[in-house]
Structure 1
Amino acid sequence: MSIHGLEGKNVLIAGGAKNLGGLMARDLARHGAKAVVIHYHDASARSAAEQTLRAIEAAGAKGVALQGELTSARGMEQLFAEARAAVGRPDIAINTVGKVLKKPIVETTEAEFDEMSAVNAKTAFFFLKEAGRHLNDNGKVCTLVTSLLGAYTPFYATYAGMKAPVEHFTRAASKEFGERGISVTAVGPGPMDTPFFYPAEGEDAVTYHKTAAALSRFSKTGLTDIEDIVPFIRFLVTEGWWMTGQTILVNGGYTTK
């Protein structure tokens, strides 16, 4: 068994019930993962989690679904403890949790700021902390950020701004965990064709985003399709282990750094 393959490996995906996380869970199960633990936030995602579980099990992997609120250190500790109790130490941990807010700075409330900080930055930090505590040696960690980290744009101060710290969290964690063979990366997709994207954007903005990438005309939606992100993450958490401490923007030429 290769230490950098998927065979015999346990996977934990935060936000793994649907959209990109759900597709990632299905994909890693199909490619040989032994067990895939998917986290979902609340009861509204339970049906999607159950569908993803069935697909994981149909692919021959063990599937486990865990519900939890991850914006507290205690919630993250509980997720990793429950995952470990269910399948053993994880080998691969992927965090897809995030929240978009498109709003001018002068209209943003303190409550909105605090929520965006908790969901996008705090959750990412404590996910990395618990991954560092629980992952097997030679493990892999990947966090989803945003291609807006390479943009010069208004209105996304609390979204891109709260994803920005994850770049340094990733660098620091890669240094701290590297002596155990653990690689740590972040992936920043462009605007994705998921329900996560549309509520934050007006019709004009959607039209712009669908034409903004250099390769937009070759995408089925003009946006970043989740099917195009999954192979990059799969690579980073398997044979791509030598890349660590990096934030990679995968967006068809939407933004660069």
Structure 2
Amino acid sequence: MTNSQRVAIVTGGSRGIGREIVKRLAADGYAVVVNYAGNTAEADSAVAEVTGAGGRAIAVRADVADENAVAELFDTAEREFGGVDVVVNAAGVMPVSPIADLDLAALDRVLRVNLRGAFVVDQQAARRVRAGGAIVNLSSSITRFARPGYAAYAATKSGVEAITLILARELRGRDVTVNAVAPGPIATALFFEGKDEQLVARIAAEPPMERLGTPGDIAEIVAFLAGPARWINGQVLYANGGAI
């Protein structure tokens, strides 16, 4: 590895949008650390995809809400690849329930993973990302859609957006950008879970583009923010095909 190779950490990188981001950043020449919560087989598969295409990647298991585990995640990236240039927060959970019926244990979990997790990862990123680097947090267009059943999830993503905007300003003088990407409905296993064909078709028809987004659509935006988009900072980019 040359000293000029850029290094990215992608949380939630073993599946869905996170995995597509891993593949895209690796294709752009990054050495990638694939963080995952528990599914070792999926994480190893993501690494194999990257290395099979000639890239460099390792998988590191860590609970994003555990500050010691996240510190070790960053330690591993620095030890294996020499530093950290890009951090992408894609880890998350999405309980769906009306407020009146939501099990508060589910609320605690989504707050822990989505909000505390983003904060803990961003805290390490703020300390360690090298000059010229980028931090990209995944929010959600659900903060604008205000769709019934998603209050807990939307609350955490609104918090992620607040963290993003403030951290961008706290890193003044560091030459590190901090932005959030807020996808609309994306065709992943997480999205399709619990939805019948009629509901999926209705949601897909909402944007003027008349389709669901794909993980690749989001990976393109993250790659842009991670690399050439140096004059975009402290922003939330809504990526939903024009649905809102």
Equivalent residue for 2:217, pick from 228, 234, 247: 228
Instruction: State the shift of 1:184 in Å.
Output: 0.4
Instruction: Report if the CA contact (8 A) 2:64-2:118 is conserved.
Output: no
Instruction: Report if the CA contact (8 A) 1:102-1:200 is conserved.
Output: no
Q: Kindly, what percent of the aligned residue pairs are identical?
A: 27
RMSD over equivalenced CA pairs, Å: 1.5
Instruction: State the shift of 1:114 in Å.
Output: 0.6
Provide the residue aligned with 2:241 in structure 1: 252
Q: Distance in 1 between matches of 2:124 and 2:205?
A: 39
Q: Distance in 1 between matches of 2:227 and 2:192?
A: 32
The yes-or-no answer on 1:119 pairing with 2:113 is: yes
Instruction: State the shift of 1:202 in Å.
Output: 4.6
Provide the residue aligned with 2:77 in structure 1: 83
Q: Distance in 2 between matches of 1:253 and 1:228?
A: 13
Q: Distance in 2 between matches of 1:158 and 1:202?
A: 22
23-32 or 162-171: bigger deviation: 23-32
Equivalent residue for 1:27, pick from 21, 24, 38: 24
Instruction: Report if the CA contact (8 A) 1:102-1:201 is conserved.
Output: no
The yes-or-no answer on 1:39 pairing with 2:28 is: no
Instruction: Report if the CA contact (8 A) 1:13-1:39 is conserved.
Output: yes
Equivalent residue for 1:16, pick from 1, 4, 13: 13
Instruction: Report if the CA contact (8 A) 1:143-1:187 is conserved.
Output: yes
Equivalent residue for 2:205, pick from 191, 203, 211: 211
Unaligned runs of 5+ in 1: 1-6, 217-221
SS in 1 for 2:224: helix
Give, as a single letter, the amino acid of the residue that structure 2 aligns with 1:20: I
Deviations 1:36-74 (A, max 9, x none): 1101111xx222222221222233332111012122222
Instruction: Report if the CA contact (8 A) 1:98-1:120 is conserved.
Output: yes
Q: Distance in 1 between matches of 2:189 and 2:102?
A: 22
SS in 2 for 1:242: coil
Q: Distance in 1 between matches of 2:71 and 2:20?
A: 25
Give, as a single letter, the amino acid of the residue that structure 1 aligns with 2:206: A
Deviations 1:75-127 (A, max 9, x none): 22222122222212110111111111221101012211111111111111111
Q: Distance in 1 between matches of 2:55 and 2:7?
A: 9
Unaligned runs of 5+ in 2: none
When the two structures are superposed, what TM-score results if normalisation uses the length of structure 1?
0.89
Q: How does 1:1-257 map to 2 (within 5 A)?
A: 8-33=5-30, 35-42=31-38, 45-216=39-210, 222-255=211-244
